[in-house]
Amino acid sequence: MTQKKNTWLLYALITMVTWGIWGAFSDQTTLPKTLVYVVWALSMIPCALVALANIKFKLDMRSKPALLSMGVGLLGAGGQLVLFLALDYAPAYLVMPMISVAPIVTVILSAVFLKEKVSRLGLVGIALAFVALVCFALPDNTDGAAKSWIWIVYASVVFICWGIQAFVMKLANNSTPDAESVFVYMAISAVILIPVALLMGKNEPSLCSFGWAEPLKVFGVQILNAIGAFTLVYANRYGKAMIVAPLADACAPVIMCVISLILYAAFPTVPQLIGMVAAISCVFIFSRE
């Protein structure tokens, strides 16, 4: 049991670190966000090949695991595309706080349908994770304003998609003997939606117009996201969805804040400091869960 506990936490920590580094550098690009999606989807392919190699290219082809795993990918990637629409109508300081607490959907679904349970200390850890999520989601400024109320609809769709995604990921893991198949289908789903992203950005410059340097730089950053998603599948397989989802989302911003402090001398705000303490505290709590 201890071996299993340490395994899920190790994978979750890898996700936190890779997503934290990815988040710190993801905005350092001139590519339009729809093209960033294309590069991200392509960055899933190397990780998918590693996953296939781990299972000797014996992908689970049964319908139930395949459909559930594709659902995980479509919920995640589709939510990302809808997020682009939300950000077209409202600034990030309005949109991100709403979707940042999406893991609450995961917690509720896991408790009701998967019958997952945690100790009282674990409940404190989950609460601290949400404190951290809210603190990191608070805006640094209030510049700009929403162009239309439609952003609430789009943000709600993202909130639901990403909240359900982690729950479905657990179902997919329970339906297949290996986590690698889940990730491969997630990668396939991301690539399938590339035409949708290109259609959304049809009035923007093409990827070819940026040469090689910028897309390669973005690829180097986005593959960290893909690696984090890969290890998240493992964390979700061995751990409880109601713990893994809030933990991963709450702790990645801690890494982002540390990197920003080191590279840009950007000192955390008071809410961010509170969020860092809450996130680190919930890691210690979950390590004992």
The per-residue pLDDT for range 56-86, each reduced to its tens digit, is: 999 999 999 999 999 999 999 999 999 999 9
Alpha-helical runs (H) found in the chain: 2-25, 33-54, 63-89, 92-100, 103-113, 120-137, 150-175, 179-192, 194-200, 213-238, 241-264, 270-286
Residue 30 tokens, joined = 């001139």
Extents of the domains making up the chain: 2-286
Instruction: Determine the longest span between alpha carbons in the chain, in angstroms.
Output: 55
Alpha carbon 287 to its chain centroid, in Å, reads: 21
Spatial distance between the Cα atoms of 218 and 36, rounded to a whole number of angstroms: 7
Q: Are 170 and 105 in contact (CB under 8 A)?
A: no
Over 80: is that where the pLDDT of 142 sits?
Answer: no
Q: Categorize the per-residue pLDDT at 3 as very low, low, confident or very high, splitting at 50, 70 and 90.
A: very low
Spatial distance between the Cα atoms of 117 and 107, rounded to a whole number of angstroms: 10
The per-residue pLDDT for range 236-280, each reduced to its tens digit, is: 999 999 999 999 888 888 898 888 888 877 788 898 899 999 999
This prediction has a pTM of 0.90
Spatial distance between the Cα atoms of 105 and 121, rounded to a whole number of angstroms: 20
| Cα atoms found within 13 Å of the Cα of residue 171, Cβ hemisphere only | 19
Residue 9's nearest CA partner among 238, 227, 255 is: 238
Amino acid at 175: S
Spatial distance between the Cα atoms of 240 and 238, rounded to a whole number of angstroms: 7
Axis-axis angle for helices 150-175, 92-100 (nearest 10): 30
The per-residue pLDDT for range 216-228, each reduced to its tens digit, is: 999 999 999 999 9
DSSP 206: P
The per-residue pLDDT for range 167-203, each reduced to its tens digit, is: 999 999 999 999 999 999 999 999 999 999 999 988 8
DSSP 267: P
Query: How much of the chain exceeds pLDDT 70, in percent?
Result: 94
